[in-house]
Amino acid sequence: EADIYQTPRYLVIGTGKKITLECSQTMGHDKMYWYQQDPGMELHLIHYSYGVNSTEKGDLSSESTVSRIRTEHFPLTLESARPSHTSQYLCASSEEAGNYGYTFGSGTRLTVV
């Protein structure tokens, strides 16, 4: 079944640790996105990619980085986690967003202590 997967689902980590949030999709979509969402709040675009070797920063400044070496994989990395990074991170993909919109993963809820 075509889908988009995020791991881990929940992560509690200490300040200063390096973390990578995984996002993979099996739909062959070229376009992928990372959004950050605080509980009950709106979504903010932090990174996006239009294909392999293409990455761009989104509207909300983020200390995270992303890579897109394979079409299906779009990981997000924080080199040194801080409590201000505590949030939910949602990955999405689209083929033709204008026609079908985005498909979202289940999200990673990150807590930095």
Partner 1 sequence: ELKVEQNPLFLSMQEGKNYTIYCNYSTTSDRLYWYRQDPGKSLESLFVLLSNGAVKQEGRLMASLDTKARLSTLHITAAVHDLSATYFCAVEANFGNEKLTFGTGTRLTIIP
Q: Give the interface with partner 1 as residue ranges (CB under 8 A).
A: 31, 33, 35, 40-45, 48, 58-59, 90, 92, 94, 96-107, 109
Give the three-class secondary structure for 106. coil
The least distance separating partner 1 from the CB of residue 113, rounded to whole angstroms, comes to 19
What phi and psi values does residue 19 have, to the nearest 5 degrees?
-135, 150
Local structure of 99: helix, strand or coil: helix
CA dihedral 34, 20, 38, 12 (to 10 degrees): 160
Q: How far is the CB of 45 from partner 1 (least distance, A)?
A: 6
Select 3 or 79, whichever has its Cβ closest to partner 1: 3
Three-state DSSP state, 101: coil
Q: Indicate the residue among 62 and 94 with the shorter CB distance to partner 1.
A: 94
Q: How far is the CB of 11 from partner 1 (least distance, A)?
A: 15
